[in-house]
Structure 1
Amino acid sequence: MRYRREPDRCPALARQGGTGDAGECCPLVKQEPSVILIGASAGGVEALRTLVGALPADLSAALFIVLHIGSHKSELPWLLGSLDGLPASHAIDGELFEPGHIYIAPPDHHMVIEPGRISLTKGPRENWARPAIDPLFRSAASVYGANTIGVILTGALNDGTAGLYEVAQAGGVTIVQDPVEAVNPSMPRSALAYVAVDHCLPLAGIAEMLTRLVRARTTDAPQAVFEIPQEQPQEDAMAAEFTQNIPVAVTCPDCGGALRRKELGTLTQFACHIGHIYTAEVMLAAQFLTLERSIETAMRSLDERAELCRQMAEKARPDDLDHVETSWGAAMRQAHERAEPLRDILTREWIHPDGIGVISDTSS
């Protein structure tokens, strides 16, 4: 196993030379409180309610949550704030954040962490999502390093895996919901496959672990030394990074631009010059969806051609029936015949090497 299920020891501290006991877990300077990053997708609302509801109201850490909601209206701040615990709200661009508050990425905006404040952006979708989990985790890890705690909950596909990898590389603590408990285990399983996760726990265990971590980190224990790696890109410098890799021979399903390949440990990502980012698994699903849409567009055009020919055949004068039969009628039959192979392609089973199949771009 590459991860732990027991909540009483913390590998993150052991890596820094400590014993790993939870009581001394991940010591930090008091002036730099912990930032807790939580990412969720399918099944995430109930998981978040369970997790947040188990946290103490006096938790001295700022919580940042990304739930895949796309551009749809979200009542998540009200749902979490009504639990009589930590106050919750949608994040505001430029807002200064403080401990003891939950900040939630608003619809259709990425939430990025800067020193002491929150930045919202309508930047390119990542892994088909905006808001996406990776931008939050990546930005927080680059700014707060070992003060970050990253948590991946239930969800489809693998948004958050790359971000959790960045948290681990920065010296932060990584926590993943036990896939056995998750409504959709894809995101937790992906994180466990690509990241040497510190803790794999059920929701109740995650709440307990977060509480213990934060309380231990607000003591006067000596600070763990950490320097932000120079290669860690800041969010406002990401565009420059996209020009440094050699393009691969595939194009972006979103915009058609050439994609560049990036390796994060054993995790592979593809990014276009605009900024759309995909893991290999999401890229596979996106390519198939683009193919399916192209075939459907061709089928629609053929069906419309056949319908136009039918209407023209019905409109024809009785003394022109021979011409109708040899032209409009023949064209109608031809359009129907040529649509059948396309319909057959759509209804056949396809091989999906990733093992997750294909999802629509509105589900998560």
Structure 2
Amino acid sequence: MAFERDVVVIGASAGGVEALCQTVRSLSGEFPAAVLVVMHLAPGATTALPQILTRAGPLRAVQATHAAPLTRGVIHVAPPDHHLLIDGGALMLSHGPTENGHRPAINATFRSAAVAAGPRAIGVILSGALHDGAVGLGAVVERGGLAMVQDPADALYPGMPESALACVSTEHVYPADVLGKVLDHVVRTAASTRPVEPPSPALLLEDRIARDGVRRGAVAEEVAAASGYSCPDCQGSLLEIGQQAGQYRCRIGHAWSAEALLAARDIELERALWTALRSLDEKAALARRMQHDAAGRGHAGLTGRYVNTARECATAAETLRRFLLSLSPETEAHS
């Protein structure tokens, strides 16, 4: 069977604007596929990415809107705080659970393309940290689609390309300026492939969660094993789900990879340590104040106790402060 590859989904994060511009610059003005672009954005952010991509190449880029038609030759950019999904021949914006702390999430869009377009889909991973998009790209390949990845050596942040290549095998690994030229050629080449199996129950479940997981309830205990970890977003129990090890969701649907969960734990730990440091500093200051008051009233016993308390707190605070400042240069901003 021959399939026309008419759906392209591109995921990028840190360092991704430059890579996106290089990629779309090489596409022709008669590009015969719809393009969906997902870049990690903060929930309250505004983005000029559609204008930037429109200026960078011959295709028009627009911010995606709910129920808009999936249009060939147009770049549809995910807006902040919404997953960008495909619903038949139209776009769908969802406020479904975050994935690896992100909404929009690359995995959500890639899985949606895998379910909706199957072998007609091309998934592209560009510069970014950690590995959002790797599992989604695996779903695209599983459904007969094509994977393309920016050469990690060409990426400002190679984490996402490296994670994608660890998840899928593809011959289409190029620098960003070459990747666009190859993509423009590949979409014009009909793909002959064996009949593709229907989406797996696990893939359909994950896609359904991105669409309306909060409204309908997301993950039931009977379809997933307890992990023993808690969700950084809601502190609920995380369940191990998906076809790959190290993929977790809480009961209301927040998704985490093992790598992203580890990074979130680092942030939680550092935040807790800064809170402890503040508490030690305040306790030392209060003890010194109470020492002064006790000395003024002639209470030698109380004065000595407060002196010891202030000294112990100051010593502990200095040890903790040195540790926190050693973690990374950026932590100095907290001091």
TM-score of the two chains, using structure 1 as the length reference? 0.79
In structure 2, relative to structure 1, the CA distance for the partners of 1:145 and 1:62 (3 Å cut) is same
Q: How many residue pairs end up in the alignment?
A: 320
The DSSP-based 3-state class of the residue aligned with 2:76 is strand
Match of 1:304 in 2: 282
Equivalent in 199, 215, 229 of residue 229 of structure 1: 199
One-letter identity of the residue aligned with 1:28: F
Q: Which residue number in structure 2 is paired with residue 140 of structure 1?
A: 113
1:186 aligns with 2:164: no
Following the alignment from structure 2 to structure 1, what is the Cα–Cα distance between the partners of residues 263 and 218? 27
Whether the 8 Å CA contact 1:191–1:197 is kept in 2: the answer is no
The aligned residue for residue 41 of structure 1 is 13
Q: How far off is 1:94 after superposition?
A: 2.4
Matches within 5 A, 1:11-22: none
Distance between the aligned counterparts of 1:345 and 1:223, measured in 2? 56
Report sequence identity in percent: 38
- Paired position in structure 2 for 1:331: 309
8 Å contact from structure 1 (residues 61, 214) kept in 2 = yes
Which residue of the partner structure matches residue 28 of structure 2? 56
1:279-358 pair list within 5 angstroms: 279-314=257-292, 318-320=296-298, 322=300, 325-340=303-318, 342-343=320-321, 346=324
Contact map agreement 2:285 2:310 (CA 8 A) in 1: yes
Give the 5 Å matches for 1:94-109. Answer: 94-109=67-82
In the alignment, what sits opposite 2:138?
A: 165
Residues 178-257 of structure 1: pairs in structure 2 closer than 5 A: 178-217=151-190, 225-231=195-201, 232-233=203-204, 235-237=207-209, 239-243=217-221, 244-257=223-236
Matched, 1:28 2:6: no
Query: Is 1:124 the equivalent of 2:102?
Result: no
- Gap change, CA 1:334 and 1:130, over 3 Å in 2: same
Output the aligned Cα RMSD.
2.7
CA contact (8 A) 2:26 2:57 kept: no
Change (3 A) 1:154 1:309: same
Report which of the two has the higher share of helix.
2
Structure 1 stretch displaced more, 325-334 or 279-288: 325-334
Contact preservation (8 Å) 2:12, 2:127 = yes
Gaps of 5+ in 2: none
What SS is found at the alignment partner of 1:39? strand
CA distance in 2, matches of 1:97, 1:132: 19
**Which ranges in structure 1 are unaligned for 5 or more consecutive residues?**
1-15, 17-26, 350-356
1:314 is displaced (CA, Å) by 4.9
Task: Give the CA deviation at 1:264.
Answer: 3.3
Determine the structure 1 residue equivalent to 2:53. 80
